[in-house]
Structure 1
């Protein structure tokens, strides 16, 4: 490849990053018009809104994950394994930390990668707000590895309870989830379903009613970022499932056995999940002089270029972009990352042709919250209908599923997605409804 072609580096293979690098690879990489590289610290991609299903065991991550190397081969970009931990804007390089195996042996040394255009799409991580005990005693669902660890802990707890030969200890199977956003609410519904499935699959010494689910939220209602009618519908559904909903309860400490709130409550729980807030990864904070906010997000212009460097873009949860017409930034949602990826793709194509750059205007098409087989609720055309166009039931469920299909189409095209969907239907007919190991 000629040295004259521009080097485009995308850091982070999440929803937006992988869609962007796939489109750039097919448009420029395959035609040798640019050298397109994806850098990520894992081998595989899974759509982040599915992680609560991986955690519950109702989705086997190995069936839905995408191998970066395989996607790179098919789409015309290069994949490099590693975690970005530094930036040299003057020399236009990123620094990538060494990679170690499970035994602590270095398998890939520290490296640097040159870029002409850099797109940072590293997503977000949980924000513990400095609350005592959260890091020590809570589980998180930021990555596939964390979700799989949660699923293993959950299954071990059931197996221990099923075989211990004595009555359950008080709170032995209590599960508390802090944060009643979409992740917390959806996880509650999935865990309720799991309690019935494991009982049906033979762990019948544990009854579904032995599992006590608590959902804790500092705001005065669950799903505080969504319209009140959607929050009320989800609240009603969870109540019917027997979930203990504790709204208006601010967590002040987490111990090995309980969660303490500002009002004086002690909520006993053997398994504790933290889903109460997000921030961009710590390494981004003021990285090489770029502007960041209190959540470590890179502040960007409406072109999605960082405020101090036009050759560096940020998309997805790790960027702070003004929501035009609203008194807030664009919310951290998969649909926002998808739209940002499409805009940056156009922007880079335009820059290579010396054309005017497009500006990003977030279009809120509404939000959907899945309660597993117990229901789906949401609102359509968010900022157009002011959240009033409520949908639920089968229609909402089909629309929820279509969001993931749109992501797959962006990566594979319609025909391959149709084949994947048929394959999934056949697998479901012979595989258990829950991961049992």
Structure 2
């Protein structure tokens, strides 16, 4: 019996889950290739949605994809665990012991062999070793962190109402996460006002701090300016060109020993891949722990190892800088590799990846949205706002669902979400 080709994909984020879904479907009938997904979490959440989970304005249980069930439906297998090392010589990855939150060991540490390894480990905020950040700040980089923040947020809201106090929130990082979370917190309290204290929204005292000269630095300036103007009209304080020097129990220090008071602090600045990836297995990595890859999406030092999405760094010949760590890039890279990998395994050549910029979108909850249409399509380079931009932003997630589940099931999921929205509270209350 011929030996099966083992494709191991580490990380079930946007790129990883899309890739195993497409490869699993392609190879399910052949029987000569097995596709395995490794992830420490049992579920997938579309990362651009995490700020709504953190705010409690979406039902996490309706939005999550359970890997084990999805794997059964789409022809791949799922291995729970967190990658912690790489043995390139013997072509295997090291997986850390899996433990419960109480420290009980569920699975011992183990290794998993591969013939092709694809790293899709994503990224998280970079605290730049700023004093106090790890001790006092929340991060919104994973489902677990988003849910932990929401639990703390609800405690602070109840305390604010009971004591007739302000709810002081400070967010560091004027990227998409910081900007969209700010708006979502406003929406949460607008809705919460209908469940009791009508003045609860007025209690929100929110400050957004950004070290760069403008918000949303990866977006066109017009989107940055429009978003800041809208946040300020919502009553928020926006501080740009402001470098935070430390975090403490009652807020952030910045600039020349100035201070922003806060009861609840979020760090959403910077981007870097997981720390264990720095120099992983002798692979070439950046200062942000990203694997440096070729246009074929292969690592520069091992053709059997690929990297996609935020944990990779690809500098295309016609670009001024490496591709940005965005959902759009991760999606296109996963689609490209899903198309090209089967032919390469059969002895063909790997085509180079070409990025198509379809624009940028940012949604400020139900208040507003702004976007550009990129360099493709009839209205290339156009600026959109309001309902059209909000619809375009919502369709990004619906497209993601369709790619994962197919049109029929994606439509059923959307219908179930709409029905549940009529029967359940619009925000998480407990």
TM range (shorter): over 0.9
Q: Residue 268 of structure 2 is aligned with which of 270, 275, 296?
A: 275
Structure 1 segments of 4+ aligned residues over 4 angstroms from their partners:
382-388
8 Å CA contact 1:58–1:434 kept in 2: the answer is: yes
Among 177, 185, 199, the residue aligned to 2:193 = 199
After superposition, the Cα gap between the structure-2 partners of 1:383 and 1:228, relative to the gap in structure 1 and judged at 3 Å, is: farther
Instruction: Kindly provide the CA deviation profile for residues 367-418 of structure 1, in whole angstroms up to 9, marking residues without a partner as x.
Output: 1000011011011115899994211111111110111111111111111111
Deviations 1:51-79 (A, max 9, x none): 00000000111111000000100001110
1:29 Cα deviation (Å)?
A: 3.2
Partner of residue 111, structure 1: 110
* Counterpart residue number, 2:236: 243
- Alignment correspondent of 1:125: 124
Q: Distance in 2 between matches of 1:30 and 1:193?
A: 47
- Contact persistence 1:350–1:356 (CA under 8 A): yes
Tell me which of 312, 315, 320 is aligned to 1:322.
Answer: 315
Which residue of structure 2 aligns with residue 27 of structure 1?
Answer: 26
1:337 has 2:327 as partner: no
CA positional deviation for 1:222: 1.0
After the TM superposition, which of the residue ranges 54-63 and 348-357 deviates more from structure 2? Answer: 348-357
SS of 2:366 mapped into structure 1 = helix
Q: In the aligned structure 1, how far is the partner of 2:352 from the partner of 2:402?
A: 24
* Offset at residue 420 of structure 1 (A): 1.3
1:30 deviates by 4.2
Q: Is the 8 A contact 1:324 1:361 kept in 2?
A: no
Q: Using structure 1 for the length normalisation, give the TM-score.
A: 0.95
Contact persistence 2:117–2:305 (CA under 8 A): yes
Matched-pair contact (CA < 8 Å) for 2:173–2:210: yes
For normalisation by structure 2, the TM-score amounts to 0.97
Structure 2, unmatched stretches of 5+, are: none
- Partner deviation per Cα, 1:85-126 (whole Å, 9 max, x = no partner): 011111100010010112211110111111000000010011
Q: Determine whether 1:403 maps to 2:400.
A: no
Contact 1:249 1:263 in 2 (8 A): no
Residue 423 of structure 2 corresponds to 430
SS in 1 for 2:354: coil
Deviation at 1:203, TM superposition (A): 4.1
Matched, 1:348 2:320: no
Residue 319 of structure 2 aligns to a residue whose secondary structure is coil
The 1-side partners of 2:380 and 2:203 are apart by 37
Given that 1:158 and 1:203 are in contact with CA atoms closer than 8 Å, whether structure 2 keeps it comes out as no
Contact 2:373 2:379 in 1 (8 A): no
Consecutive unaligned residues in structure 1, runs of 5 or more: none
Give the equivalent residue in structure 1 for 2:92: 93
* 2:266 paired with 1:265: no
2:248 corresponds to which residue?
Answer: 255
Q: Deviations over 1:190-233 (max 9, x none)?
A: 011112222211244x5322110111001111111211111111
What residue in structure 1 maps to residue 50 of structure 2?
A: 51
SS at match of 1:20: helix
Asked if 1 retains the 8 angstrom alpha-carbon contact of 2:123 and 2:310, the reply is yes
- Alpha-carbon distance in 2 for matches of 1:279, 1:428: 36
Q: Of 360, 371, 375, which residue of structure 2 is paired with 1:367? A: 360
